[in-house]
Amino acid sequence: MPGSIENEDVPMEDVHSDDEVEPTIGEDGNWVSWKDRIRVLTGATETAASFQFEGEDHTLGNALRYIIMKNPDVEFCGYSIPHPSESKMNLRIQTYDGVSVYSVLEKGLNDLIDLCDVVTEKFTAARDAYGKQ
């Protein structure tokens, strides 16, 4: 236990990072949330759904929209920030026949992660090459 300024015991929730929290069920029972990070808005079908992300903004919204629109199974993808003073971001995905929006969203996230790896790899190589000049 690290030393404390005010000589008090540190509560356990302060010691843990916020990443590993168990998922909870929403009050209206309509959606299940992971620490309120993501939920599906009502009216969703297998091929058309709106997701609401807690604590996300244009940064992830627009990047995710781009990468999902690159998927040929996607008929429509768009995002919006319903209100500027609420940190919520809505993402709408509609797919062509028989393709699940959930798998499309997951593929989008995976593609974005791969993209980041490639950018890091290329950037590091270019920087190191420039440093050697």
CA dist 73 to 12, 85, 120, Å?
A: 45, 34, 28
Q: Smallest distance, Å, CB 46 to other proteins? A: 12
Residue 20 class from Cβ within 10 Å (0-12 exposed, 13-18 middle, 19+ buried)?
exposed
How many residues of this chain interact with other proteins, rule: CB under 8 A?
A: 62
Q: Does 30 bind other proteins (CB under 8 A)?
A: no
* Dist CA 105 CA 82 (whole Å): 20
CB 112 within 8 A of CB 64: yes
**Contact set for other proteins, span 56-115 (CB under 8 A):** 56-60, 62-67, 69-72, 74, 102, 105-106, 109-115
Point out which residues bind other proteins (CB under 8 A).
2-6, 8, 10-11, 14, 17-19, 23, 31-35, 37-40, 53, 56-60, 62-67, 69-72, 74, 102, 105-106, 109-120, 122-127, 130-131
